[in-house]
């Protein structure tokens, strides 16, 4: 419960600072759909959510600001670069954490199941590090961030097809 | 022979989508000499109770699974001798049998037995080998595997690996939760024993050279750590828990060190050597690429590992007395997870072949690559201690299962498995008696 309140305060700060200084950033987080699936507890919300909200990760309606930010970032095959569509989301998380330095985030990197398991741990870590670097660039303190790579060990989707692989190449932000 | 192999492999690759289910059987039966052998049910002296283990059946299954023997079905046997003196050699040569195994069990005390067995050459009418060994209720199964090993060695010239174990990771997915177990079983998949259970992933098990300990990676507490667990007691200790990745442990041949992967807070995976007693850590690679999956050469002088420093993952090696890495694999765009045969002549790996991840074996002297498996996502090759057979994980209807294949690619078998998604098999060293 305490966590949730801290998150709320962060989001309120985000709204205020966004209005004052970076209107265009917030403006890019236009109309929504998929956000409604991010819900209840943060821990549970990071599991299996991506199934139905793949295309709308960065979007957010003005009146849904009190809800949690999306916490899953997806990656292309064999890539660890962040797609530009996530700039807004990561900025929002960074603002959130800057405004509340008690918040910490664990970046959990994941890979799809193809290839060797320990090498996939490396690929998952590269993705987590890409998110970490963006948060650091946005002013988040290193002490607020830890990374862990689960490689292919914790898939979001258990299928062996492209749509499952797309769901599994991801970084999950677990905020505490 | 070589050409035959190539044709068969090509056929496998070509038909694998259509024939995959039967393919292993086809290869097994179609190629290589299978010695006709009869393992006669063992006799029991007066006073021996009905045993929970059928010794002859275990020996029969072991030899059959190897693909190098065709055991005679019991119903075809014209006689069922239990000692050499009772064997009628003509009865067996009529059946085309080349070797016969007979045996007897004697009770010493309650629950304590003596097993005697003899292996005969039917053509020569001579005993090839005969032994007597003590056993009790809990070691009967192992005794049967040991007898199968002796027979295998006498008739093939290769040391058998029936009396060995395999460690692997199993995951069970229930509705909301996945649980992970590290398991050890006999080489035939029987006698499963749980080493550790966890709600968080477990991966990368590695046997110590004396097979008394297992190192593995566990994600308990949402961070990776390497544990060292003594199998007999179940005691374990955390041996590596640096920030970021702690992964891919492998023991040095003398058992004193582990080579492992650390990522650090910046996530740059490099290979390190950890002295288990002193905890001293020596960094072996300095590269911004992913360097991981390291393994020792059997002579302890080199380390082989996966690195994508050239763009795609390939296998490299480092001589311990220098810090220069040398690239080993050049065929294909993806070669990872090297494992050397205990005799040091072959390197097994995961090799990307036309979009499928296959187990391939690279002959270090001849420098040629042979693809051994036929799945789409085969991984984690591990050599048996005799260097003659490998075990690896493949997928069957979405679930991980284990297969073995001989290093020449001729005999491939699925290992019987129970429920669950199974992966990362690691063959134990030869076990002490």
Going residue by residue through chain B (433 aa), what tens digit of pLDDT does each one get? 444 444 444 444 444 333 333 223 333 333 567 899 999 999 999 889 988 899 999 999 999 988 899 999 999 999 999 999 999 999 999 999 999 999 999 999 988 999 999 999 999 999 999 999 999 999 999 999 999 999 999 999 999 999 999 999 999 888 778 899 999 999 988 889 999 999 999 999 999 999 999 999 999 999 999 999 999 999 999 999 999 999 999 999 999 999 999 999 999 999 999 999 999 999 999 999 999 999 999 999 999 999 999 999 999 999 998 878 999 999 999 999 999 999 999 999 999 999 999 999 999 999 999 999 999 999 999 999 999 999 999 998 888 999 999 999 988 888 866 678 999 999 999 998 7
In A1-104, beta strands by DSSP E: 72-74
In this prediction, residue B33 carries a pLDDT of: 78
Tell me the chain A residues in contact with residue B351 when contact means C-beta distances shorter than 8 Å.
none
Domains and CATH numbers, chain B: 33-156 (3.40.50.10070), 165-427 (2.120.10.30)
Q: Distances in Å between the alpha carbon of A106 and those of A38, A131, A173, B245, B260? A: 18, 11, 6, 13, 23
Tell me which H or E stretch contains A87: helix A87-99
- Closest Cα partner for B123 from B102, B94, B152, B163? B94
Predicted ipTM?
Answer: 0.89
- The residue whose two tokens read 């070589």 is B2
Do residues B129 and B116 lie in contact, with contact meaning Cβ atoms separated by under 8 Å? no
Interchain proximity B224–A158, CB inside 8 Å: no
In this prediction, residue B303 carries a pLDDT of: 97
pLDDT average, residue stretch A129-152: 97
Is B181 within 8 Å of chain A by CB? no
In this prediction, residue A150 carries a pLDDT of: 98
Do residues B142 and B163 lie in contact, with contact meaning Cβ atoms separated by under 8 Å? yes
Is A122 within 8 Å of chain B by CB? yes
CATH number of A2-175: 3.30.1330.60
- Select the residue of B173, B334, B395 nearest A160 (Cβ to Cβ): B395
Q: B364-378 burial, b for 16+ CB within 10 Å, e for fewer?
A: eeeeebbbbbbbbbb
Mutate to test the interface with A, among B243, B263, B266, B268 (most CBs of A within 10 A): B263
DSSP of B38-69: EEPPPEE-TTPPPPSS-HHHHHHHHHHHTTSE
Tell me which H or E stretch contains A162: helix A162-168
- The residue whose two tokens read 């990197």 is A109
Domain positions in chain A: 2-175
Mutate to test the interface with B, among A41, A44, A114, A122 (most CBs of B within 10 A): A122
A59 has a pLDDT exceeding 50: no
Separation of alpha carbons B306 and B260, rounded Å: 12
Is A36 within 8 Å of chain B by CB? no
Do residues B171 and B179 lie in contact, with contact meaning Cβ atoms separated by under 8 Å? yes
Interchain proximity A126–B245, CB inside 8 Å: no
Note which residues in 45-84 of chain A have CB less than 8 A from chain B.
none
pLDDT average, residue stretch A66-78: 84
In this prediction, residue A68 carries a pLDDT of: 79
In this prediction, residue A158 carries a pLDDT of: 86
pLDDT average, residue stretch A154-171: 92
A73 has a pLDDT exceeding 50: yes
Burial of B253 (0-12, 13-18, 19+ CB in 10 A): middle
Do residues B362 and B349 lie in contact, with contact meaning Cβ atoms separated by under 8 Å? yes
pLDDT average, residue stretch A16-41: 34
A66 has a pLDDT exceeding 50: no
Interchain proximity A125–B334, CB inside 8 Å: no
DSSP β-bridge partners for residue B282: B273
The contacts of residue A74 (CB under 8 Å, 6+ apart) are A50, A54, A57, A83, A166, A167, A169, A170
Phi/psi at B333 (nearest 5 deg)? -95, 0
Give the rounded distance of the alpha carbon of B227 from its chain centre: 22
Separation of alpha carbons B35 and B96, rounded Å: 10
Note which residues in 191-250 of chain B have CB less than 8 A from chain A.
201, 203-204, 219, 222-224, 243-245, 247-248
- Select the residue of B178, B293, B377 nearest A119 (Cβ to Cβ): B293
Do residues A34 and A57 lie in contact, with contact meaning Cβ atoms separated by under 8 Å? yes
In this prediction, residue B418 carries a pLDDT of: 67
Q: Which residue has the higher pLDDT, B4 or A118?
A: A118
In this prediction, residue B148 carries a pLDDT of: 98
The DSSP symbol for A96 reads H
The contacts of residue B57 (CB under 8 Å, 6+ apart) are B41
- Select the residue of B350, B398, B424 nearest A160 (Cβ to Cβ): B398
The contacts of residue B236 (CB under 8 Å, 6+ apart) are B196, B227, B228, B229, B230
pLDDT-based confidence at A21, cuts 50/70/90?
very low
């Amino acid at each position: 419960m305490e966590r949730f309140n801290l998150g709320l305060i962060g989001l309120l700060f985000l709204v205020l600072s966004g209005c004052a200084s970076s209107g265009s950033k917030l403006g890019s987080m236009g109309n929504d759909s998929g956000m409604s699936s991010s819900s209840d507890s943060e821990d549970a919300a990071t599991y299996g959510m991506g199934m139905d909200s793949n295309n709308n990760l960065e979007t957010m309606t003005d009146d849904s600001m009190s809800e949690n930010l999306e916490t899953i970032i997806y990656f292309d095959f064999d890539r660890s670069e962040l797609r530009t569509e996530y700039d807004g989301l990561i900025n929002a998380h960074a603002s959130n954490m800057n405004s509340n330095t008690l918040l910490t985030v664990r970046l959990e990197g994941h890979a799809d199941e193809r290839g060797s398991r320990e090498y996939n741990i490396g690929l998952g870590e590269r993705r987590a590090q890409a998110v970490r670097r963006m948060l650091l660039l946005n002013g988040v303190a290193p002490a607020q961030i830890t990374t862990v790579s689960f490689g292919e060990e914790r898939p979001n989707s258990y299928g062996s097809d492209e749509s499952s692989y797309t769901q599994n190449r991801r970084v999950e932000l677990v905020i505490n | 022979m070589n050409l035959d192999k190539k044709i068969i492999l090509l056929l496998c690759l070509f038909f694998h989508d259509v024939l995959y289910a039967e393919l292993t059987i086809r290869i097994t039966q179609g190629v290589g000499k299978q010695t006709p052998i009869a393992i006669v049910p063992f006799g029991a002296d007066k006073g021996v109770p009905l045993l929970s283990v059928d010794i002859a059946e275990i020996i029969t299954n072991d030899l059959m699974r190897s693909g190098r023997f065709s055991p005679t079905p019991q119903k075809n046997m014209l006689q069922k001798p239990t000692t050499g003196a009772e064997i009628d050699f003509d009865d067996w040569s009529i059946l085309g049998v080349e070797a016969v195994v007979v045996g007897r069990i004697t009770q010493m005390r309650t629950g304590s037995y003596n097993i005697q067995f003899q292996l005969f050459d039917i053509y020569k009418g001579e005993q090839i080998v005969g032994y007597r060994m003590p056993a009790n209720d809990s070691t009967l199964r192992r005794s049967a595997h040991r007898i199968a090993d002796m027979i295998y060695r006498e008739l093939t010239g290769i040391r058998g690996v029936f009396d060995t174990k395999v460690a692997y990771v199993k995951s069970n997915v229930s509705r909301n939760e996945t649980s992970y177990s590290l398991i050890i079983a006999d080489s035939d998949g029987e006698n499963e024993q749980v080493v550790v259970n966890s709600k968080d992933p477990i991966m990368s098990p590695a046997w110590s050279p004396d097979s008394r300990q297992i190192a593995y990676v566990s994600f308990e507490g949402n961070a990776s750590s390497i544990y060292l667990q003594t199998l007999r007691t179940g005691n374990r200790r955390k041996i590596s828990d640096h920030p970021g990745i702690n992964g891919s442990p492998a023991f040095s041949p003398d058992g004193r060190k582990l080579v492992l992967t650390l990522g650090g807070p910046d996530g740059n995976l490099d290979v390190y050597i950890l002295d288990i007693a002193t905890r001293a850590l020596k960094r072996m690679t300095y590269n911004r690429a992913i360097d991981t999956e390291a393994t020792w050469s059997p002579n302890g002088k080199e380390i082989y590992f996966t690195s994508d420093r050239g763009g795609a993952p390939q296998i490299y090696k480092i001589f311990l007395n220098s810090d220069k890495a040398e690239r080993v694999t050049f065929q294909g765009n993806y070669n990872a997870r090297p494992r050397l045969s205990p005799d040091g002549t072959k390197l097994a790996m995961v090799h990307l072949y036309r979009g499928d991840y296959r187990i391939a074996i690279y002959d270090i002297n001849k420098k040629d690559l042979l693809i051994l498996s036929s799945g789409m996502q085969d991984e984690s090759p591990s050599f048996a201690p005799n260097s003659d057979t490998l075990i690896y994980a493949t997928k069957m209807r979405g679930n991980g299962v284990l297969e073995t294949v001989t290093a020449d690619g001729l005999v491939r078998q699925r290992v019987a498995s129970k429920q669950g998604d199974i992966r990362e098999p690691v063959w134990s060293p030869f076990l002490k008696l």
